[in-house]
């Protein structure tokens, strides 16, 4: 049986309460397969002792004795504070909401203790620890899975469910790789790998399980990419028409008109990209191109130039952005730049209300709109185009799984232009976007002053605020970015900091809040006001990470910078330095940040090149650390990370292509399993490649 064919509902495999069933459903776990494929997000190694004194380095795993007790708070809020000791030192256990621990944590008692500890009020403490009486210790000496959870489900429960399920059906799980490869690379059989990814007998076994599952996933990714490459190779490319391009002229008439209206000259990189695209669009094979360029390199304009080409062919273009905010900004720019050269522009998102929407859809269908800009609503069921010839997808990495066929079905073989600022090393781009052509804009518009980046300790934040104040006095604007929307306990969050910035720090300037949970209308209003300069300070989460363009904003303050991935920091920093004035980026980090953490942030001081930063991030991001969110574009992958696992990816690609080249129909006995997997239980939904 293939794992993904184990469609039997979990609830029929064992006894589970209905409350737990609905919690599992919220995690997307319905079937046995779902549960087995809900891989741990981390593992807790209880095989190695980590004494209290090493709490900064890792999760503590030690044996302690309770040496004293104390209470904090009163009445129902009364909380036990237990002082414990191992050979290396002393720490405090805070028993919030766990009154039953009073009976266990009595002076003199001995326990195994696990948990993350931090330094606060002069003590090493933890509020989220686990203990086990020393005599009936069962979990010591094992490597335990740590799953993503949701409310109504505990770690212990999910461990139990998964373990019971494995007992029941692990044995039936079939291999999905060719035996030859399993032997060649010393991989585990699939049933073993699935068991060991959840409950490894050792760190070593866990590594083998990861290696196996990562390889398998990448192999199928490349099989799917490879099939598409072969298909596209089958279509012969020749320039069938060169609409609008006069002999030797690099641009079409409309493109030329737009260029003449611009207050600046195109960069060499933009010109090169447009030339490649013009060539693609003139050929009979639909364009499939990835346009990469660092933040601020001017990709939007390239997409507009491409749209003009479609319009000149009497066709339509759709430009899709990942957020409403960004879509609106593109729509406004499109109106400003493209309406004067004669294009009819429309803006479509999920929020456009009935009457307006009906009218818009009618016009789109009738071909009375040339260029439509919007969110994924552009490809909703009820949207029809008269003659869609170009689809532009901005910030491609944000979309994750997008159904290529759905988008493509809206047009008559439309060309596809994907744009991304996420620095993907060139080799990787070729490997993952196997059947796409790649254009890279390497240069930046001239006249930009390099952004000055500063690191500051949290305890020095007043100095940062003073610096920002001086910029505000000059009439400039500032972003303050926080890792959380609200409810931060140990850390600052956008909601409470907006209040503090407005009331205490900068009372004379207008401040506003922006994050993803606010109603779209409010977000739009806020961004408009910020762009117009009526709002001076924006307290935000990483929603401002993507694409926002306000040239008068010269300060970017990122608090708890250590909590962001370097690529995310780079994207955020790219929000400033977009005008003629000197811009600044302040990375404020916790006073307790380790040396390693500081080294990581220092990369931001030394480089302003997104590619370099991405590579440094890779080198520094040791194994075991959870990957940053920047790779969210590969969310459809369960365990592999094509950037981290680049070596495996290249190997898998070579193997997959050699299989397809020797046996394109997957007819050989050895390859039958691959054909079966693709047919019976494809590992990915139809993905955007
Ligand atoms: P990104 O590649 O990050 O999407 P944008 O397209 O948002 O970058 O461009 C950033 C800014 O640079 C915009 O304000 C845009 O008008 C401006 N810009 C684009 N091309 C040029 C150019 N050739 N010279 C000067 N400014 C440019
Ligand atoms: Mg952009």
pLDDT in tens, 329-374: 899 999 999 999 999 999 998 777 777 899 999 999 999 999 999 9
Residue 138, burial from CB neighbour count under 10 angstroms (0-12, 13-18, 19+): exposed
Q: Which atom of ligand 1 is nearest to the CA of 299?
A: 2
Q: Would you say the CB of residue 266 lies under 6 angstroms from ligand 1?
A: yes
> β-strand 60-72 against 42-45: which pairing, if any?
unpaired
Q: For the chain, which residues make up each domain, given as ranges?
A: 47-137, 253-281+298-420, 452-607
Mean pLDDT of 305-312: 95
pLDDT for residue 107:
93
Instruction: Give the pLDDT confidence score for residue 633 in this predicted structure.
Output: 43
- C-alpha 189/C-alpha 194 separation (Å) is 9
Which residue did the predictor score with more confidence, 300 or 412? 300
- Range in 28-42, 402-416, 452-466 with the lowest mean pLDDT: 402-416
Q: Report the pLDDT value the prediction gives residue 191, as an integer from 0 to 100.
A: 96
d(CA 40, CA 46): 15
Instruction: Give SS3 for 544.
Output: helix
In this predicted structure, what is the pLDDT of residue 490?
80
- 638-652 pLDDT per residue, tens: 788 776 787 888 899
**Atom 20 (ligand 1): residue with closest C-alpha?**
298
Q: What is the pLDDT of residue 246?
A: 62
Grouping H, G, I as helix, E, B as strand and the rest as coil, residue 505 is helix
Query: b/e for 177-189, b at 16 or more Cβ within 10 A?
Result: bbeebbeeeebbe
pLDDT greater than 90 at residue 624: no
> Quick check: do 47-137 and 452-607 share a fold?
no
Between 404 and 627, whose confidence is greater?
404
* 564-574 per-position pLDDT tens digit: 888 788 889 98
Overall average pLDDT of the 404-430 stretch: 73
Q: For residue 394, how far is its CA from the centre of ligand 2 (angstroms)?
A: 7
Mean pLDDT lowest among 40-44, 132-136, 221-225:
132-136
**pLDDT of res. 637:** 73
The best mutation among 259, 265, 291, 296 to test binding of ligand 1, ranked by most ligand atoms within 8 Å of the C-beta, falls on 296
Give the C-alpha separation, 534 to 554, whole Å.
15
Q: What span, in angstroms and rounded, lies between the C-alpha atoms of 74 and 71?
A: 8
302, 445, 553, best to mutate for ligand 1 pocket (most atoms within 8 Å of CB): 445
pLDDT of residue 97: 80
Closest listed ligand to the CA of 291: 1
Confidence band for 427, pLDDT divided at 50, 70 and 90: low
Q: Identify whether the C-beta of residue 388 lies closer than 8 Å to the C-beta of residue 319.
A: no
- The whole-number pLDDT of residue 597 equals 85
User: Which ligand has the minimum distance to the alpha carbon of residue 294?
Assistant: 1
Report residue 284's pLDDT band, with 50, 70 and 90 as the boundaries: confident
Sorting pLDDT into bands at 50, 70 and 90, what band is 134?
confident
Which bound ligand lies closest to the C-alpha atom of 321?
2
CATH ID of 47-137, from 1.10.10.60, 3.40.630.10, 2.40.50.140, 3.40.50.300: 2.40.50.140
pLDDT at 533 over 90: yes
420 in contact with ligand 1, CB cutoff 6 A: no
Q: Which of 220, 184, 182 is nearest to 674 (CA)?
A: 220
Q: Contact at 8 Å (CB) between 229 and 434?
A: yes
Q: Is ligand 1 within 6 A of the CB of residue 549?
A: yes
- Domain 452-607 has what CATH class? alpha beta
* Tens digits of residue pLDDT in 51-75: 999 998 888 999 999 999 999 888 7
For residue 394, give the ligand nearest its CA: 2
Give CATH superfamily name and number for 253-281+298-420: P-loop containing nucleotide triphosphate hydrolases (3.40.50.300)
The confidence score (pLDDT) of residue 136 equals: 62
What average pLDDT does the structure give for the chain? 86
Q: What is the pLDDT of residues 10-52, one digit of tens each?
A: 999 999 999 999 999 998 899 999 999 999 988 888 888 899 9
Closest CA to 101 of 84, 89, 117: 84
Total number of residues shown for the chain: 689
Contact between 364 and 383 (Cβ < 8 Å)? yes
Would you state the pLDDT for residue 684?
75
Give me ligand 2 centre to Cα 456, in Å: 29
Helix (H, G, I), strand (E, B) or coil at 119: strand
CB of 297 sitting under 6 A from ligand 1: yes
Residues linked to residue 345 through DSSP beta bridges, in sequence order = 371
Q: Taking the mean position of all CA atoms in its chain, how far away is CA 383?
A: 28
Please give the Cα distance from 534 to 75 (Å, whole number).
49
pLDDT band at 622 (very low <50, low <70, confident <90, very high): very low
The pLDDT assigned to 22 comes to 93
| DSSP β-bridge partners for residue 589 | 457
Confidence (pLDDT) at 388: 94
pLDDT per position as a tens digit, 149-171? 888 888 889 999 999 999 999 99
The residue whose CA has the least distance to atom 4 of ligand 1 is 299
β-bridge partners, 559: 588
Q: Is 132 exposed, middle or buried (0-12, 13-18, 19+ CB in 10 A)?
A: middle
């Amino acid at each position: 049986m293939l794992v993904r064919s184990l469609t039997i509902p979990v609830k029929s495999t064992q006894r589970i309460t209905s409350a737990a069933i609905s919690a599992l459903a919220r995690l997307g776990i319905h079937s046995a397969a779902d549960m087995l494929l809900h891989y741990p997000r981390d593992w807790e190694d209880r095989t190695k002792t980590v004494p209290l004194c090493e709490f900064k380095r890792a999760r503590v795993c030690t044996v302690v004795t309770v040496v004293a007790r104390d209470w904090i708070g009163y009445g129902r809020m009364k909380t036990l504070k237990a002082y414990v000791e191992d050979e290396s030192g002393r720490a405090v256990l805070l028993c919030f909401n766990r009154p039953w621990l009073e009976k266990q944590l009595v002076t003199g008692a001995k326990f195994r203790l696990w948990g993350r500890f931090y330094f606060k009020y002069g003590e090493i403490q933890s509020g989220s620890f686990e203990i086990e009486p020393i005599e009936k210790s069962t979990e010591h000496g094992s490597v335990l899975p740590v799953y993503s959870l949701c409310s109504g489900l505990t770690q212990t429960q999910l461990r139990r469910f998964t373990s019971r399920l494995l007992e029941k059906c692990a044995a039936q799980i079939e291999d999905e790789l060719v035996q030859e490869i399993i032997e060649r690379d010393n991989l585990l059989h699939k049933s073993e790998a699935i068991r060991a990814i959840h409950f490894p007998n050792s760190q070593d076994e866990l590594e083998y399980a990861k290696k196996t599952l990562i390889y398998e996933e990448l192999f199928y990714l490349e099989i799917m990419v490879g099939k598409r490459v072969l298909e596209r190779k089958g279509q012969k490319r020749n320039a069938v028409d060169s609409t609008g391009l006069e002999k030797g002229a690099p641009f079409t008439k409309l493109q030329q008109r737009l260029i003449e209206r611009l207050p600046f000259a195109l960069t060499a990189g933009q010109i090169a990209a447009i030339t490649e695209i013009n060539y693609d669009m003139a050929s009979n094979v639909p364009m499939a191109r990835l346009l990469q360029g660092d933040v601020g390199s001017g990709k939007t304009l390239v997409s507009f130039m491409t749209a003009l080409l479609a319009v000149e062919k009497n066709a339509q273009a759709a430009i899709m952005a990942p957020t409403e905010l960004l879509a609106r900004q593109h729509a406004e720019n499109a109106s400003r730049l493209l309406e004067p050269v004669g294009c009819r522009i429309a803006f479509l998102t999920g929020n456009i209300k009935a009457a307006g929407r009906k009218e818009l859809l009618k016009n789109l269908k009738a071909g009375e709109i040339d260029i439509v800009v919007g969110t994924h609503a552009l490809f909703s069921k009820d949207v029809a185009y008269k003659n869609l010839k170009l689809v532009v997808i901005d910030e491609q990495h944000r979309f994750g799984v997008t159904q290529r066929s759905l988008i493509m079905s809206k047009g008559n073989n439309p060309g596809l232009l994907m744009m991304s600022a996420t620095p993907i090393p060139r080799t990787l781009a070729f490997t993952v976007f196997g059947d796409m052509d790649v254009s890279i804009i390497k240069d930046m518009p001239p006249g930009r002053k390099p952004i000055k980046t500063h690191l500051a300790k949290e305890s020095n934040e007043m100095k940062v605020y003073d610096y920002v104040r001086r910029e505000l006095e000059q009439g400039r604007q500032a972003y303050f970015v926080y890792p959380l929307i609200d409810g931060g306990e140990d850390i600052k969050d956008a909601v409470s900091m907006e209040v503090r910035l407005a009331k205490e720090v900068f009372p004379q300037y207008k401040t506003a809040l922006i994050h993803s949970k606010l109603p779209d209308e409010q977000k739009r209003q806020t961004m408009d006001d910020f762009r117009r300069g009526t709002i001076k300070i924006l307290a935000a989460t990483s929603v401002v990470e993507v694409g926002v363009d306000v040239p008068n904003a010269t300060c970017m303050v990122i608090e708890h910078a250590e909590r962001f991935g370097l690529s995310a920091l780079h994207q955020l920093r790219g929000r400033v330095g977009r005008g003629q004035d000197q811009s600044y980026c302040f990375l404020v980090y916790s006073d307790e940040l380790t040396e390693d953490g500081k080294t990581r942030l220092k990369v931001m001081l030394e480089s302003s090149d997104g590619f370099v930063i991405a590579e440094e991030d890779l080198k520094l991001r040791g194994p075991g650390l959870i990957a940053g969110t920047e790779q969210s574009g590969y969310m459809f992958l369960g365990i592999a990370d094509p950037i981290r696992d680049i070596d495996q990816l290249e190997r898998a690609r070579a193997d997959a292509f050699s299989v397809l080249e020797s046996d394109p129909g997957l007819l050989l006995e050895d390859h039958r399993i691959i054909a079966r997997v693709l047919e019976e239980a494809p590992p990915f939904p139809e993905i955007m490649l």
